[in-house]
Structure formats: C-alpha cells, structure tokens
Structure 1
Amino acid sequence: MFESLKKNIQSVQDGITAGLQRLSVGEQKPTQVSPSESQVNLAAGSDLLQMYQTQWATMHHLAEQNSAAAQDLDVAITQLADECECQHSQMAEIHSLLAHLPNIMAQLHSMLATIGSMRGLFEEVEGGLLTLQDLDEELTLQEQILDLRLSLALAREKHTHSLNSLNNELKASHQTKMIVLEHKKENERKEREKVFSEKFSEDIKNYKEQGHIKKRIPSAEEEAGLKLEEVDLEQDSSELDDFLNEPA
C-alpha cells in the first residue's frame, strides 16, 4: 500500500517538474512583441503558479515524511511480525509440550514407582551387605582360630619334639653315667676284693707260721666292708682249700 502511494506521489512530482520545465523553455524563446501584445499582463497566473509550486513543495515534503514514516513503520511491522512469529513458535512448542504432559506425568509416576521398588531393593542389598560383612568377619575369625590352632599344634609338636630330644639326651646321658658308675663300682669292688684277698692270704700265712691270727684294726675302707651282694663267690678259693685240707 505504501509502495503504491509512493509511486503515485512520484508520478505527480515528475508531472509537475515536466510542466515547469516546459514553462521555463517557453519563457526563454525570443518573441517579437506586437503592439497588441504589449498590453497583455505577463504576470497573470504567477500567483496560481506560485500556489502550485508551494503546494508541490509541501506535498513533496509530506511525501518524504510519509516515506520515512512508512519505512519506520515497515521496520516496526517487520519486527512485530518476527516477534509474533517467535511467539507463535513458542506457543506451538508450549502446546506440543502440553500435549505430551499426560505422557510425562505417566512416566513420572512410573519413575516414582521404580524409585520405590529400587528403594526396597537397596534396603535388601544393604541387609545382604550387612550379612555378608558378618559372614566375612566370622570367616576371618575362623581363619584366625585355625591359624592359632595350627600355630598351637606346631608349637606343641615342636615342644614335644624338644621334650623327646631332651628325654633321649637325658636317657643317653643317664645310661652313660650309669655305665660309668657301674664300671667305677665294679673297679672299686674288684680293688676291695683284691685287698681282702691279699689280707686273707697274709692272715693264712701268719696262722701257718705263728699258729694264730694277729688282731688288727680295720681301716676305714675295711670298716665300710663289702655287702653280701657284692661278694663274688666265683673267685679263686684254692688257698682256702689248701689250708683246710692240710693235715693237723
């Protein structure tokens, strides 16, 4: 609409400009003034022309203002159209979202139900974890008990082995000492038997020579004497037999 108005104003402006140009060209032509034409009023119509020029200038100024206002209005209308289009798009999107709202609510309720079931599962898992922790502690305690029992068994076996070794060593040492002691006693017994045998032979010899036996004081070793079980009856008794078999 504004474009057509602008075109009409431009065509009027072009027509007025062409008319003025024709008038100017007509005034510049040299004419020969006749005596009858000298009485013609050349200023006739100048006021009308001035009025037309003033109106044309006013219309031209108004046309320029209208054109600028039309451009501003076109920009404002374009912005308003863009804003309306944007709001229309937003309204369409809101309408689409509102159309999906029941599905969203249904999904939300489903998610809430799922969260409730997951909460129950979490509680079960937590209980299972506590049970597993108790079992782990119990297994750890059993492993510690088994380790202690194994250590105790090893220590007992080691102690038993040590006791057996010590017992064997003590038995071997005791047997060695007993053998040494028996050898010592045997040697002492043999020495005492030898001493008594020599004394007995000396007494027999004195009896044969003097007819009696000298009374002598026994030594400490003789006082200790031989025990009956220490007397060896299988020793050589030939001297005693010879003495008893001699004629009176």
Structure 2
Amino acid sequence: MFENFRERLHTVQQDFSTGIKTLGDKSKEAKIKKRRDDSLPQFSAGVDLLNRYEDMWVTLHKGANECAKAGEVLDRDVVVLSAQWEKRRAVLAELQEQLQEIPAFLADLGSITSRIAHLEADFEEMESHLMHLENLCGQCELQRAKQYQEVQLESYKRKKRKELEYLKGKRPV
C-alpha cells in the first residue's frame, strides 16, 4: 500500500517538476520577447499582460519548488514508515506461523505424554520381572551352595569313615 502511494507521489512530483521547468522556460522566452517588445510601443498592453503572467508564473514556480521539496521530505518519511511497517509485518507473519503450529505441538505433546505413561508402566513391569529374576538368582546360588556343602559333607563323611575303618583295622580286637 505504501509502495503504491510512494510511486504515485514520485510520479506526480516528476510531472509537477517537468511542468514547472516548462513554465520556467516559457517565462524566459516571454522575457526575451518582452525585451524585444519593449522596443515596439504599439504592444504595451500585451507587455503588461505578459508581465503579470510572468509574475504569476514565477510565483507558481516558487510554490512548485516548495511543494517538490515538501514532497521529497514526505517521500523520505513514507519510505521510513514503509520500512518500519514491513519489519512489523514480517514479525507478525512469523508470530502467526508459530501460532498456527500450536495445535500440532499440543497434539504431539499429548502423544508424548501417552508414550511416557506407557513406558512408565513397562518400566514398572520390567522392575517386577527383574526383582523376580533376582530372587531366582538368589535361590540358585543358595541351591548351589547347599549342593556344594552337601558334597563337602559327603566327602568329610567318607574321609571319617575311612579313618574309622583304618583305626578299627589297627586296633586289636
């Protein structure tokens, strides 16, 4: 919107400056003719009229120059405002994109929360199984220790029986 306004303002400024230059050139030509006409006394009424028009054109030319300068200042202001609004528009567009992503983000967050709940249940089940496995391992170790002790006991008993038989065999009856 500001870009179109700026272009139109620039076009009007150029047209206005061109028109003023054309009027200034015609005014100079009129001055030259006036000097020529000053030498001719029969055209004095036309000379007064031309002088009045020339004064009016000079006034219009000055006013046009002032308008052109004011237009340039306005153009600069419009350019600055346009740049500021363009930055704000870009920020607003980015914010709008982020806001549009919120529903998908919330859906993903809900899905992740559900997965975490399932993982928590799976971890609790796994912990239960690990405790059971630990108990089984403890029982196995106990069983092995018991068997080892039984083997040791059996070996001790055999050794003692042999000693007993040895002692019985050495003793006189």
TM-score by length of 2: 0.68
Structure 1 unaligned blocks of 5 or more: 168-248
Q: 1:81 aligns with which of 67, 89, 92?
A: 89
Deviation of 1:149 after TM superposition, in Å, equals: 4.6
Q: Which residue of 1 aligns with 2:40?
A: 34
AA in 2 matched with 1:127: H
Structure-2 separation of matches of 1:78 and 1:69: 14
Q: After TM superposition, which residue ranges in structure 1, 4 or more long, deviate above 4 angstroms?
A: 37-43, 151-157
Following TM superposition, by how much is the alpha carbon of 1:118 offset from its aligned partner in structure 2, in angstroms? 3.6
C-alpha distance in structure 2 between counterparts of 1:114 and 1:34, whole Å: 112
Cα RMSD between the aligned structures? Answer: 3.6
- What is the aligned partner in structure 1 of residue 21 from structure 2? 17
Identify, as 1 or 2, the structure richer in helix: 2
1:140: Cα distance to partner? 3.1
Which of 75, 87, 90 does residue 67 from structure 1 map onto?
75
Instruction: Go from structure 1 to structure 2 and tell me whether the alpha carbon gap of 1:18 and 1:50 turns closer, same or farther (over 3 Å shift).
Output: closer
Equivalent pairs, count:
160
- The counterpart of 2:136, out of the listed 102, 119, 131, is 131
Please point out which of 6, 9, 15 is paired with 1:5: 9
- 1:143 counterpart (107, 125, 148): 148
Deviation at 1:114, TM superposition (A): 4.9
Tell me, in whole angstroms, the C-alpha distance in 1 between the residues paired with 2:132 and 2:57. Answer: 109
Shift of 1:111: 4.2
User: What runs of 5+ residues in structure 2 fail to find an aligned partner?
Assistant: none
Highest RCO, 1 vs 2 (Cα 8 Å, sep ≥ 6): 2
Residue 52 of structure 2: SS of its match in structure 1? coil
SS of residue paired to 2:23: helix
Q: Check 1:88–1:106 CA distance in 2 against 1; reply closer, same or farther (3 A cut).
A: closer
Q: Is the CA contact (8 Å cut-off) linking 2:24 and 2:58 kept in structure 1?
A: no
The Cα of 1:119 is off from its aligned counterpart by 0.9
Q: Does 1:112 align with 2:117?
A: yes
- CA distance in 1 between counterparts of 2:25 and 2:156 reads 132
- The aligned runs of 1:1-248 (5 Å cut-off) are 1-2=4-5, 3-28=7-32, 31=36, 33-37=39-43, 40-41=47-48, 43-98=51-106, 100=107, 105=110, 108-109=113-114, 111-147=116-152, 149-150=154-155, 153=158
> TM-score normalised to the size of structure 1?
0.50
Cα distance, 1:62 vs. partner?
Answer: 1.6
